[in-house]
Amino acid sequence: MKRLFLTLLLIIALSLSCGGGGGGFVPPMVDPPVVDPPVTGWQPPQTPGLHLILDRASKREYFSVLRIPSGLLLGQYGLHEGGPEIQLYDGALKTEMKIPDVESVFSIFDPGDGLPLATTEHYGRIYKRATAGKWELKYSRPEQIALMFYIRKAGALYGLYNLYGTHISGLVCSLDNGNTWTEMFQYAGMDFFGIASADDFIYLAGSKNDYLFMANIEGKEVTSFPSAKGYAWWGIVKSGNLWNMGTWTNYDGGVGQSGYIDSFDGKKPTRVYTTDRPHIHAMGIHQDKRYAVATWDWSASSDKTSLLLSSSDGYSWSVLSEIPCPHIMGMSFADGGAYLVGGRFRDYGRVYFYKF
């Protein structure tokens, strides 16, 4: 992972067009129901609690995971080992693609057509799984850029990127499930790391001038919060009338500091949870419950990451499970639980399943 200004691309699927004007208005969106894949292949344990699915001494940490009917698609970090791989685990581990010149497969997700997209870090690329085990390049940027996606429903996709070291972010759009992309907006002086949608609007989260910062699709401020150097909002979710935002510390003075979950009720942000883990990358809502992952740096010596669960109102958070792994980067809901992937830099990769 890069030391300064980690670059992200996050995607939201919308229903009508790529238009983003009108004070930040976006065509209405409706979340699809949570539907588990049909039972056709590998299945996870059904006993409630935490299960270790994979423990790989490959020197490649796992960054991303997606449940598909036959098993799990897994994305690695691995530039130091000749490039990351996209793997399929269906009871046995199979390599579907190796990408020698990128840093990580930052995210894997289904845009709504059943043909997953995979995004890469270091050089910003998007690959699409056209048939089983076959991936095709659909988007590429020459700058060093990392990509992450957030899906809402089939239709138009919005992607947010940030260029390394420039404090410039931008928005791209796809109308065909990620097969082609067009440029939309650029945001100067802002480093965005999180994206979400609520109430027919898109919201971006990150930092600006050492402030934690949330903006609408046009880059106009929604709220901000004074912060120590090196902090930004990354994880971001909304349920009811309350937002929750998780902080991360970048490598510009942030290592070793605490991590926080903040709330925003439309008036002002409030700090509601503090942890000694410096990163809260992964946040999500599953069956009306809010979850977050509080984790250490990927090379830390600690052996525990916290899976957090909030109260129904989002103001109180507690540890649901301690995961014996220093760094958990990805979280995905399926099979009545959460898949959690991570590991330790240049040491191992692990895949866990927490059955609710």
Q: Please name the CATH architecture into which domain 10-15+46-355 falls.
A: 7 Propeller (2.130)
Name the nearest CA neighbour of 149 among 180, 192, 123, 118: 118
Q: What is the SS3 string spanning 267-290?
A: CCEEEEEEECCCECCCEEEECCEE
**C-alpha–C-alpha distance, residues 39 and 114, integer Å:** 15
User: Which residues, listed in sequence order, are joined to residue 295 by a DSSP beta bridge?
Assistant: 279
**C-alpha–C-alpha distance, residues 353 and 308, integer Å:** 14
The average pLDDT across 165-170 equals 84
**C-alpha–C-alpha distance, residues 326 and 161, integer Å:** 27
Angle 229-231-233 (CA atoms, 0-180°, nearest 5)? 150
Q: Which of 110-119, 211-220, 247-256, 297-306 has the highest mean pLDDT?
A: 211-220
Contact between residue 109 and residue 66 where contact means Cβ atoms under 8 Å apart = yes
Contact between residue 169 and residue 161 where contact means Cβ atoms under 8 Å apart = yes
Return all residues near 120 (Cβ < 8 A) that are at least 6 apart.
Answer: 84, 99, 102, 103, 104, 105, 106, 126, 127, 146, 147
Helix (H, G, I), strand (E, B) or coil at 129: strand
User: Which residues, listed in sequence order, are joined to residue 263 by a DSSP beta bridge?
Assistant: 244, 270
The average pLDDT across 38-61 equals 88
The average pLDDT across 295-299 equals 77
Contact between residue 72 and residue 89 where contact means Cβ atoms under 8 Å apart = yes
pLDDT over 60 (residue 11): no
Domain limits, the chain: 10-15+46-355
Q: What pTM did the predictor assign? A: 0.88
